[in-house]
Amino acid sequence: KNPVELNVLCDGEVYRIIATPRSLPASPKIRLSSGKKEKIRQNASLFGGMAHEKKVLRFIKLAYRDDIPNSFDTVYHNRRFDIFKGLKLVLKRTVTAEGEGLRLKEYEAVNETGSEPMRLAEKDFLKPELTSNTVAVSLSKLNLKPGDRARLFIVERRGGERE
């Protein structure tokens, strides 16, 4: 049920594979590529030896501090999601830690009610429109006065779905 990290030695190179158990109709083919080898190596040294939960926490802390290493892939967005009444939710960036099987989505949440305070909870954001393969959800603020902003971080496990 849980992902397994495998280290494969091939032609003197070490490849880390994160395998997620699931039923497949045919044997999957795995191709090892050194195209992103240096990024993967840097990420492995950054997260080396950490338990999965600690990796996730470190990933969130790096994003919260805006201290994203160059070895991570960052894509900036400005996509609004209108799924909550009075709450403006905008996807700001997606950060991928190549080789670690993790992706972080950062949203900005703004209370646009005009006069009503809002109480947010992490579980409110477990919506298929916002995330899949969710590992963790974290908010910078839980209580928003009108006009207040909060940062929402959602960490997902990569793999299993099409990118």
Write down the pLDDT at residue 40: 84
> Cα separation of 133 and 153, whole Å?
14
| pTM of the entire predicted model | 0.75
Residue 94 carries which side chain, given as an amino acid letter? T
pLDDT tens track for 21-41:
777 666 565 655 555 777 888
Rounded to a whole number, what is the distance in angstroms from the first to the last CA of the chain?
22
Beta bridge partners of 13: 10
Nearest to 117 by CA among 150, 79, 154, 78: 150
Q: Is 56 helix (H, G, I), strand (E, B) or coil?
A: helix
Contact of 110 with 87, CB cutoff 8 Å? yes
pLDDT band (50, 70, 90) for residue 161: very low
